[in-house]
Amino acid sequence: MPNVTFIEFNGTPHEVEVPEGTTLMRAATDHNVPGIDGDCGGQCACATCHVFIDPAWIDRVGGRNSNEDEMLNFASGLRDNSRLACQITLTNALDGLLVAMPEGQH
Ligand code: FES
């Protein structure tokens, strides 16, 4: 069961544990983590699941897919480490993952 910590823009951490195969977006919404709405249900069509991947985890999480990259162009506060949480599937290899939410999402 991978463990993930979400950091709200105000610095409040939320640590959750989810079954392998859960998306990072669902990990947040299933645990009522503020700042991740997931309005489109994970279809890569809303960008309300925008997160910043902690630099130490970028290589393990991997890069954006092309749909995700397009959608993130509409997101505010885009950074090199921006990802859409619905496009990341959690495995035990990502146990301990740390992500932060942008200012517009709270
Ligand atoms: Fe809509 Fe991720 S939940 S883009």
pLDDT tens per residue, range 4-50: 999 999 999 999 999 999 999 999 999 999 999 999 999 999 999 99
Q: Which helix (H) or strand (E) holds 16?
A: strand 13-17
Q: What pLDDT is stored for residue 44 in this prediction? A: 96
Alpha-helix residue ranges (DSSP H) falling in the chain: 24-29, 58-61, 66-72
pTM (predicted TM-score): 0.96
Pairing of β 82-84 and β 3-7: unpaired
Ligand 1 atom with the smallest distance to the CA of 84 is: 2
Q: Ligand 1: which residues within 6 Å by Cβ?
A: 25, 38-40, 42, 44-49, 71, 84, 86
- pLDDT band at residue 106 under the 50/70/90 scheme: confident
Q: How many helices (H) does the chain have, and how many strands (E)?
A: 3, 5
Q: What is the pLDDT of residues 36-85, one digit of tens each?
A: 999 999 999 999 999 999 999 999 999 999 999 999 998 889 999 999 99
Ligand 1 pocket, mutate which of 24, 25, 26, 64 (most atoms under 8 A from CB)? 25
Cα(64) to centroid(ligand 1), Å: 13
Distance 42 CA to ligand 1 centre (A): 4
Strand 97-100, strand 3-7: pairing: parallel
Give the closest residue to 51 by CA, choosing from 32, 70, 34, 31: 34
